[in-house]
């Protein structure tokens, strides 16, 4: 029998409780957020940066310097003079790659740990952070494959978006703005579908020890069968993302205005050590607060999709809110 209560309400409520209860997962979720946060506007922001710059440089330009292309140009000129080879630059490039590889490993393992911990709590298992971390390590390669597929999907959507946005800039106003806005609106559904599929596939890899391709196939099957539930959950989560972002922005502006107004009224000289101590302390508190809020929001995303996937896999049935509204409207019209 189907539960008349919308599933997304119970999922969001339990995810919020799980996020607050598992604050020890927030640092891991912050690193996992380097891979994916579950936010569509985050994906679109990256896509816009990729359109504004070159495609690959937008993704890797901050990480990989031009050391290796420059070294290749030196090698192509003829026999290598090992004494004049830019060993320092090559060393910097290798260290940068090693650091990048370490952060990728840390992000993937952290993601597996967070998924394992939230899924275990959903199944009423005993918490064991060390065991969850080991599970994340064991799931590294298939999890990395899931994230590579997600990145390829992001690039593909970026190319589609660029194919519309770049020609639209040549149109006359306001048609150019309308086309750009419409393109971004139309890209949100496939963007969220890719993100949710990646979450579900990652859970299958970590929780159920599935291989990469079977996990991806099952995740798509789970989404297509329950697409209305996934859709309404995505809409509510997107609205929550926007609300949280606006709240944090307004709060930061109010705190900043209040703080600097207080400094101006107090008459502290700019050269005063106390002045700079207050500035540094306030900046530190704001940065820590923002990082904590971001980590908590990422944990919340993981909790939402993990709990939803667990319950859908168990076959929990519900009547989507959209269908309930349609039935209510139809019943009201039939009584007239």
- What's the confidence (pLDDT) of residue 100? 87
pLDDT tens-digit profile of 57-102?
A: 434 344 344 555 555 565 556 555 555 556 666 787 788 889 989 9
d(CA 191, CA 179): 18
pLDDT tens-digit profile of 163-217?
A: 777 777 666 667 767 777 777 778 778 888 888 999 999 999 999 999 999 999 9
Say which residues have a Cβ less than 8 Å from residue 316's Cβ, sequence separation at least 6: 3, 7
Contact at 8 Å (CB) between 140 and 109?
yes
More confident residue, 39 or 19: 19
Answer yes or no: is pLDDT of 105 > 70.
Answer: yes
Contact at 8 Å (CB) between 128 and 195?
no
Question: Which of 15-29, 48-62, 281-295, 307-321 shows the lowest mean pLDDT across its residues?
Answer: 48-62
d(CA 29, CA 129): 13
- What's the confidence (pLDDT) of residue 136? 94
């Amino acid at each position: 029998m189907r539960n008349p209560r919308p599933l997304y309400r119970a999922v969001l409520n339990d995810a919020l409780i799980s996020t607050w209860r598992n604050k020890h997962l927030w640092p891991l979720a912050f690193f996992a957020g380097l891979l994916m946060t579950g936010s569509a506007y985050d994906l679109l922001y990256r896509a816009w940066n990729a359109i504004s710059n070159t495609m690959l440089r937008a993704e890797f330009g901050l990480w990989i310097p031009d050391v290796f292309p420059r070294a290749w140009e030196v090698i192509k000129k003829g026999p290598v003079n090992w004494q004049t080879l830019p060993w320092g630059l090559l060393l910097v490039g290798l260290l940068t790659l090693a650091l990048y590889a370490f952060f990728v490993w840390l992000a993937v393992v952290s993601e597996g740990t967070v998924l394992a911990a939230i899924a275990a709590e959903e199944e009423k298992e005993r918490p064991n952070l060390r065991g969850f971390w080991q599970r994340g390590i064991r799931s590294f390669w298939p999890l990395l494959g899931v994230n590579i597929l997600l990145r390829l999907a992001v690039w593909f959507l970026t190319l589609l978006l660029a194919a519309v946005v770049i020609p639209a800039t040549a149109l006359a106003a306001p048609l150019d703005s309308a086309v750009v806005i419409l393109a971004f609106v139309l890209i949100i559904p496939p963007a969220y579908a890719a993100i949710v599929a990646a979450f579900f596939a990652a859970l299958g890899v970590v929780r159920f020890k599935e291989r990469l391709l079977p996990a991806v196939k099952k995740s798509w099957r789970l989404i297509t069968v329950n697409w209305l539930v996934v859709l309404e959950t995505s809409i509510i989560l997107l609205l929550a993302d926007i609300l949280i972002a606006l709240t944090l922005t307004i709060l930061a502006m109010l705190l900043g205005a209040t703080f600097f107004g207080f400094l101006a009224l107090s008459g502290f000289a700019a050269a005063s050590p106390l002045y700079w101590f207050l500035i540094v302390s306030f900046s530190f508190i704001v940065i820590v607060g923002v990082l904590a809020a971001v980590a908590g929001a990422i944990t919340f995303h993981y909790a939402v999709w993990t709990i939803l996937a667990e319950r859908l896999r168990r076959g929990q049935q519900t009547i989507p809110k959209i269908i309930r509204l349609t039935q209510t409207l139809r019943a009201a019209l039939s009584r007239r």
